[in-house]
Structure 1
């Protein structure tokens, strides 16, 4: 009898994580969320490539905390949460870009900004008297919160993010990979940093409404970090980053449709699994490269 208790508990847990009843109906009903996830995969892949190239993983977290604070404030006063998230992200991006041009300075600015943003967000949510589900979704994401108008906003945001990154691709890559030489060559480091931080702020704000403020790193950092494990080419890192981000977010949404949990655990689990696989592949490649064996190029 005692041996059956863990089995029953596991079965109950599995039934919460994966519930495939009416899956086809839900798939059709939430198709907008799936398309939104695909758009976010593009944003995450493009922005994440430069996040890793510029070693700005910490900045993503800092902007996400302020995005959370902005969304919580707008929720409290009864305005659009997505707009609040965007305002918070842009404010954080501008502060980081203006106060922390150099990497050492940006880390200290972000370190001061993160607890401030998180504290403000918790304060605003504590004052909010509405549904607790609205509070929870700001932190962990909400699959059913995306409607047609928000999808249009995401597409517009993706176009802006990708267009700007493509426009500054060469100087931003140069400034990211070799900042000292780029500065000596007259590359406008401060302007590029500000442009990228604003673009990153938009990407974070768009991502927060689906995956949540706490776990936005799984979309804007982990896919690109995984891609860097298997290739050193910036272009190939971009391609793999987009692929990994799409698999993580769209796959996470598809699994979340079959369960009762928030979307974040599914997205983060897929994203981390991809990272682990890429780590193994990267280690295998480096080991055989060091031993002088030729491996197929990736």
Structure 2
């Protein structure tokens, strides 16, 4: 059945959320049961994928459901004693940030609303604003906490290449541990946070004294950061798709298997047909390959030498 705005003008996604909420409250969907995926909601209610996603997001914000990688979206288990309301004096910025980070790691950045965070902490929502100015300020605190937990060594290993590998791999581990981080890092409008800026400063120091111009050093530092962040954004997008659809990467590929096999047998794509399946799915391997090939190129540039120290970019 197709769902459109009702006579009162209520948006379709709220009506879908209400229908699913009713099934949970009536016991038709019990704790631990899978709720319909976004694709199932699209089929059942005749709405767009974005509308289905918003409906499920409402239930997540209300704490009725939780999305678990590999299991899809399920009705939240409500066993155990009720969460007590904590006195305001027990609150602090550190506790708020730690709780927000755990929530973002488990369910994605969209789950970290101030209302949901207050519920997790057992406090009144307005109490949070005595410690954090709002959602935007909280996101900056999350980024700072991630980088603060991964300090770079004062000197690092000997050699410019080993230093650049170290900083890139450290950033990659941060992105893999906190997939939402890629959403908060911009290469064109960077956040001016000392902990994040220290990574750029450290990278520029590793490039100092190599005969590169200031422009080359800047571009190199930005390119390396963008390389790592770009692959991390792909990983984050995959995790988001899994949360929204309840369908893992392997399951998604399985739905395309017949079509893929037919295309590969057509003879139109002989090079693609010869690729190992894992080559494009191993993001850790892709990072290592991209980093090695990039640094190989920089090594050749340095061996070639010439120019750069006067600030004129080498073409």
What is the TM-score of this pair, normalised by structure 2?
Answer: 0.22
Give the structure, 1 or 2, with the largest relative contact order (CA under 8 Å, sep 6 or more).
Answer: 1
Higher helix share: 1
Q: Which has the larger radius of gyration?
A: 2
What is the TM-score of this pair, normalised by structure 1?
Answer: 0.23
